[in-house]
């Protein structure tokens, strides 16, 4: 099971009879049960931004045992942490992925990892440091002649379908500070899309309430009459599908993610990279063994 937020568990419970109007109540109940010990605390993943720094790592072993484990690591495993090349070196493209919900980050992580593809949750896209980190990686690889691609997976709602313009605009605001412009950046929103939602029977929620609490379907909302909202209302009505809904269709969700990556990255790229990296790591291993052997002789 992919660990996500309490909201993701609501979609799983819906498959067993939870009404979509009961999600907020169910979220509160899940968190209450975590607090009182009726559910495991780690049933929901920790917010990376809230993790503690500077925690101690006490090694409760004797000096001799520690020394032996260090030697064993050097001879048997240290070379596996030798990464002298990048996955992207031999390709004409560089890809990153952003998602709108932490549940999708958990779901897509195993797909992105073999491609060494940076995956980031941007639910808090207003965070300047997050945008800058993404932009600096694009700047680095674009300067090396790569086509830069940003894949995005998010909600099916007015903002979610309009996200490509939002993402480009938000990065353009920082172009002067970073020294890189998103003008050439390919932004590919790969989900959620209507056909996917219908095919996999994901849950529609009958409102367009945003994260800030406003309702885009309300004529009094400041954005209600903007073209992207009106176009959405005409096509889909005052309803939406949150990206969290994918947790109940994990195989389909991961395939959606993989298909998006393979639009830009050759399918054999992972195998080719692993072979090249393995040869270099084995060279490092031979060097370690030789040095350790010389030390024994002395």
Residue with token string 């009958």? 206
pTM for the model stands at 0.82
Tens digits of pLDDT across the chain (298 residues): 444 577 777 777 766 777 767 878 887 888 888 878 888 877 776 666 566 777 788 888 999 998 999 999 999 899 999 999 999 998 999 999 999 888 899 899 999 999 999 999 987 556 788 899 999 999 999 999 999 999 999 999 999 999 888 899 999 999 999 999 999 999 999 989 999 999 999 989 899 988 777 899 999 999 999 999 999 999 999 999 988 889 889 999 999 999 999 999 999 999 999 999 999 999 999 999 998 886 554 4
Tokens of 187: 């932004």
- Delimiting residues of CATH 3.40.50 domain(s) in the chain: 93-205+240-274
**Around Cβ 233, how many Cβ atoms within 10 Å?**
16
Q: How many CA atoms lie within 13 A of 33 on its CB side?
A: 14
Tokens of 153: 């997976």
What is the largest distance, in Å, between two alpha-carbon atoms of the chain? Answer: 83
Q: Which fold has domain 93-205+240-274?
A: Rossmann fold (3.40.50)
């Amino acid at each position: 099971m992919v660990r996500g937020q309490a909201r993701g568990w609501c979609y799983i419970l819906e498959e067993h009879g939870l009404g979509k109007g009961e999600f907020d109540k169910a979220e509160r109940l899940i968190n209450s049960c975590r607090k009182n010990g009726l559910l495991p605390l780690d049933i929901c993943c920790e917010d990376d931004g809230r993790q503690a720094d500077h925690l101690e790592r006490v090694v409760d072993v004797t000096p001799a045992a520690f020394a032996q484990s260090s030697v064993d690591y050097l001879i048997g495993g240290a070379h596996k942490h030798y990464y002298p090349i990048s996955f992207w070196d031999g390709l004409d493209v560089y890809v990153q992925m952003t998602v709108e919900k932490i549940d999708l980050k958990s779901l897509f992580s195993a797909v992105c990892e073999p491609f060494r593809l940076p995956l980031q949750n941007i639910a808090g896209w207003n965070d300047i440091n997050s945008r800058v980190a993404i932009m600096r990686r694009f700047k680095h690889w674009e300067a090396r002649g790569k086509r830069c691609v940003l894949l995005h997976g998010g909600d099916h709602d007015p903002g979610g379908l309009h996200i490509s313009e939002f993402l480009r605009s938000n990065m353009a605001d920082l172009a002067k500070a970073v020294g890189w412009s998103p003008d050439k950046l390919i932004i590919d929103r790969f989900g959620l899309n209507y056909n996917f939602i219908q095919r996999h029977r994901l849950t529609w929620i009958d409102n367009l309430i945003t994260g800030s609490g406003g309702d885009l379907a309300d004529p009094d909302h400041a954005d209600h009459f903007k073209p992207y909202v009106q176009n959405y209302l005409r096509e889909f009505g005052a309803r939406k599908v949150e990206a969290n809904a994918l947790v109940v269709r994990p195989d389909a969700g991961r395939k959606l993610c993989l298909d998006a990556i393979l639009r830009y990255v050759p399918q054999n790229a992972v195998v080719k990279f692993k072979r090249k990296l393995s040869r270099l790591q084995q060279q490092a291993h031979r060097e370690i063994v030789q040095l350790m052997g010389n030390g024994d002789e002395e």
